[in-house]
Every structure is written in structure tokens, then in C-alpha cells.
């Protein structure tokens, strides 16, 4: 086999490997990842539909998972509502980080109910009213650690 044909075979092999890797990346990003993100939502819905089956700690654990990994508005809405009742000190940083995903609002401006539930949970859990936006709350954990 001549040098030229060896080079052609190598190029075809590399292109084939790149195509396989590319296909895997596309499949992960568009198929596997969205399905994986739905799992915490389904688990949270189970807590809402059958609250007597789950302990407060189990509900809290599922809420924390949704707050960490989901961007779905409905799932965040439910997680914020459950945070009001089941949240604890570990929930606060997750709520502050989730607040980053909510649209900015002016202090006297109307906001969506999802963001309102997030703020309600923060207010209940911290006893503090920093403001309606992420920028208002992002300094709060640092201020609290300085007070201790």
C-alpha cells in the first residue's frame, strides 16, 4: 500500500472517530441530559401528590436537588413553595442561587408568582428582607458568616 493510501485511511479513521464522538455528544446533550433533568422533577411531584409517604427530610432532599439542577419554571415554582414549609438553613444558599435564574424586578414592580415564592421562602427562612433580586441577596451569606 502506498504512502498516499495509508494517509487516506488514517484521515478516514480519524474522521470516523470524530463523528462517533460528535454523535455521542449530541445524543447526551439533546436526549440523555433532558431526561436526566426530569428525574428530580418527577420525584418532587411524587412528594406533592403523596405527602404522607415522605418524611420532611426526604421532601427537603428532593427540593434541594431540583433547586440545584433544574431550570424548569414549574419545577422551580413547586420547589419554592415546598421550601417555605420544609426548608432549612441548607436551603437558603440554593434559593439565593435559584433567584439568579429569575428575571430582575424593581422594588415596587410586580413580579411573577414563582419569584415571589422564592422570596417568601428566603424571608421565612432567614427573617431578612434583602430585596427582590439576586444582587440584593448574594452578599447575605457572607454577611452572616462575618457576624458569627
pLDDT at 81 over 70: yes
- Note whether 65 and 86 are within 8 A (CB): no
pLDDT at 29 over 70: no
Q: What pLDDT score does 18 carry?
A: 83
Per the document, the length of the chain is 148
CB-CB contact of 74 with 42 (8 Å) = no
**Where do the structural domains in the chain lie, given as residue ranges?**
3-147
Helix (H, G, I), strand (E, B), or coil: what is residue 58?
A: helix
Q: What is the pLDDT of residue 13?
A: 87
Which set of grid coordinates corresponds to residue 2? Answer: 502506498
pLDDT on residue 34 = 58
Q: What is the pTM of this model?
A: 0.69
Is the CB of residue 91 less than 8 Å from the CB of residue 64? yes
- The confidence score (pLDDT) of residue 120 equals 94
pLDDT of res. 25? 76
Contacts of residue 143, defined as CB under 8 A and 6 or more positions apart, other chains included, come to none
Closest to 101 in 3D by CA, of 137, 125, 59 = 137
Task: Name the residue with higher pLDDT: 82 or 51.
Answer: 82
Q: How confident is the model at residue 95 (pLDDT cuts 50, 70, 90)?
A: very high
Q: How far apart are CA 123 and CA 65, in angstroms?
A: 21
Cβ atoms < 10 Å from Cβ of 107: 8
- Which helix or strand (DSSP H or E) is residue 41 part of? helix 33-49
**Predicted confidence (pLDDT) per residue in 112-133, tens digit:** 889 999 999 999 999 888 888 8
31: confidence class by pLDDT, cuts 50, 70, 90: low
Kindly state the average pLDDT of the residues 4-16: 86
Distance CA 92, CA 141 (A): 9
Q: Work out the pLDDT band at 90, boundaries 50, 70, 90.
A: very high
Amino acid at each position: 500500500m502506498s504512502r498516499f493510501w495509508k494517509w487516506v485511511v488514517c484521515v478516514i479513521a480519524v474522521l470516523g472517530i470524530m463523528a462517533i464522538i460528535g454523535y455521542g455528544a449530541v445524543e447526551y446533550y439533546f436526549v440523555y441530559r433532558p431526561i436526566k433533568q426530569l428525574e428530580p422533577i418527577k420525584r418532587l411531584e411524587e412528594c406533592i401528590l403523596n405527602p404522607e409517604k415522605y418524611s420532611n427530610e426526604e421532601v427537603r432532599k428532593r427540593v434541594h436537588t431540583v433547586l440545584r439542577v433544574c431550570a424548569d419554571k414549574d419545577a422551580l415554582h413547586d420547589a419554592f413553595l415546598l421550601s417555605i414549609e420544609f426548608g432549612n438553613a441548607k436551603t437558603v444558599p440554593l434559593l439565593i442561587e435559584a433567584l439568579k435564574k429569575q428575571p430582575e424586578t424593581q422594588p415596587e414592580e410586580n413580579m411573577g408568582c414563582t419569584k415571589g415564592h422564592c422570596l417568601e421562602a428566603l424571608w421565612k427562612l432567614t427573617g431578612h428582607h434583602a430585596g427582590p433580586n439576586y444582587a440584593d441577596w448574594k452578599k447575605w451569606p457572607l454577611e452572616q458568616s462575618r457576624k458569627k
